Structure 1
Amino acid sequence: MHLAAFVEGVNHTTVWRDPRAGDQMAFSSFRHAARTAERGLFDFFFLGQGLRMREQRGELFELDIAGRPDSFALLAALSEVTDRIGLAATVNTTFYEPAELARAFGTLDHLSGGRAAWNMVTSSDAFTGANFRRGGYLPYADRYVRAREVLSACRALWERAPASTAPAEYAGRYVDVRGRPAIPPSPQGQPILIQAGDSSGGRDFGVSVADVIFSRHSGLDEGIAFRRDIDARAVAAGRAPESVLVLPIARIVLGDTARDAAERAREIGFAQIGPERALAFAEQVWGRDLHGWDPDGPLPDIGPDVRDAPVMQGRVQSKADPRATVASWRALAERDGHTLRSLMVEIYAKPTFVGSPEEVATTMAERFRAGACDGYVLSTHLMPSGLDDVVADVVPLLQEAGLFRTGYEGGTLRDLLFPRVS
């Protein structure tokens, strides 16, 4: 089983108002989280990315974390206070250029001794693009066209040693590169590639280039179905299924008993989805200003306003039909007696594993053995200490079951993820 730690960027998961929460910009917070993950022998430490603070109704959405250090600078610093854990940066292929990406990841791989990884994401968001000179120029349908070209150009640069007489060359629709890399080949040659697109185009892109698919399908049945689809697409792309790892995101809530854990999960969920956040999520689907609506009352009795302009800017917009979404939410609320807020908690803040350490380890093992995944990327509501109890109480049980390493082997992150069989 593979395990990774995920520190998200702009999100609702992190309860920054919790008095135990650390400074979201302080290096000490990230150092604690990364060292905890390394103490747990995790494969890699994974940073999200926020390129612009989100806005709602034209104003700063102040419920988000206001702060995200630059991933390259932060991971380079973390390479000095960790020894073996991989260091993964989320970097957008839409707004960055191949030469700068090739150099930055090559540098990180050198500084860390071969531990760099790149989570490749895309965007067609003009709001975020306004922070860059080209603005939101990229059509939605072309986001993976540019991503593939950017990666191809980076690979051309990574593969071309500076001493070579011929420059690296790549020409595409969006990318045109001719030059030599500024640094020598790095320990891994290129970083581990991670990809999380869930559309059909995103899945095809992922299986064609990525080492790791970062998935949102963490349940048993949905995980098995997703894993089978990825395997089939990998074969169609000419790759062995075992060369593409599937790691879904997961959140763990522990307690001394199942009842204790369930109560703690409920408390965390309502801390993550406060009254303002519940209304914000509802507004994104209803397409209406619901300010003043009672979040602890029933769902709005009006239908959604279907329009192109999103209520919130800077957030990935759902492509689902708002009318169908509202209808399904109404049915769920009626069946389970939800208020608007409790429904948002159920939909947006439900943890993956809840129970005692023994119960959680058993369920993780069952899903892993059933073929639902190759492991998990663990997120937490509390930065920086949220994974402390998982490392202390769950990891040893997975080790006792023979499902997780008891020590690091191999020299690079690629060696950890794909160990050579002697």
Structure 2
Amino acid sequence: MNDALLRSLVPSVLAVLVRRGADFAAAEDAVQDALVEAVRVWPGEQPRDPRGWLVTVAWRRFLDAARADTARRREDRTEEEPAPGPVPEVDDTLQLYFLCAHPSLTPASAVALTLRAVGGLTTRQIAQAYLVPEATMAQRISRAKRTVSGVRFDRPGDVSTVLRVLYLVFNEGYSGDVDLAAEAIRLTRQLAAAIDHPEVAGLLALMLLHHARRAARTAADGSLVALAEQDRGRWDTEVIAEGVDILQAALARDRLGEFQAQAAIAALHADAPTTEETDWVQIVEWYDELLRLTDSPVVRLNRAVAVGEADGPRAGLAALTALDAALPRRTAAAAYLHERAGNPTTAARLYAEAARTAPNLPERDHLTRQAARLNTRLRG
């Protein structure tokens, strides 16, 4: 039984049903039923045309459900049921991405619907990945499906919205039996195959360059390891090389976007043999490009840290003064720069303060350890 094959076929099978006129929510339910049937039947003998088999079974499930829904749907519709066999190759995967990233959906709903409809994950798998009850995730997905059910399937979509949804999936990392970072890379590869767009390539490169450092990001006890302290021998050089190649091809098209700029920064980090050899001056220049594309407070924060590395910690602290004190991770950045500037007492206080507002447990523990390390040094 090839689970990867099944999941890869989900978008095209769902798209066939929608193109034939099925309501999105009903079509998605029918495809899930077909997948369950495939899991039951295929281990014995996989069909010669897996996609055609899934389309046939899913369409029959849809018709059965439609007939059972109202008396009006009980009329004979045999002529609408396709005979088993090859299905015309029309790749509607891209439209599905746009549908699942519809602007009327919340980011959380768009992510869940993308994982379900395009990624082929079950509700249970998605719920486990997001550490929420299955019933809660089922309600979220059901509401999302109802929202997009009346949306026309042939309208052009917003690529940037699709990319942001995929980036959200990637940033969730992994938990349970679903590796969301790897899943986001798989989906972005799929999108890159469906659309020739430099920002799609930029996002894929960014994901690969970050993912290549994954093994070195945590210690044996699960604690976070800062970039400067990571064992670079554990970075995946093949994945880095692939990411750099994809990025260079995208940049050569001279249509710079924010994901390409972010990937360029990640590539400079990946290219440095040691922290001390990092080209911080060029990283600051790329942050300047990124600010021209998107004047984001988070980008300004990251740029301030880079300035602190390129021009000295006091220059970095000066860049921080223009940022809102309530900006997430600003206090942690200030703590780091104060430590670099030789102000351990201030740094220890700021690390402890940042720990109290950390967005997650691993980050809170990391900042708490930094504060404890400096306090121990000060007492000694």
TM-score by length of 1: 0.23
Structure with the bigger percentage of helix: 2
Structure with the bigger percentage of strand: 1
TM-score by length of 2: 0.25
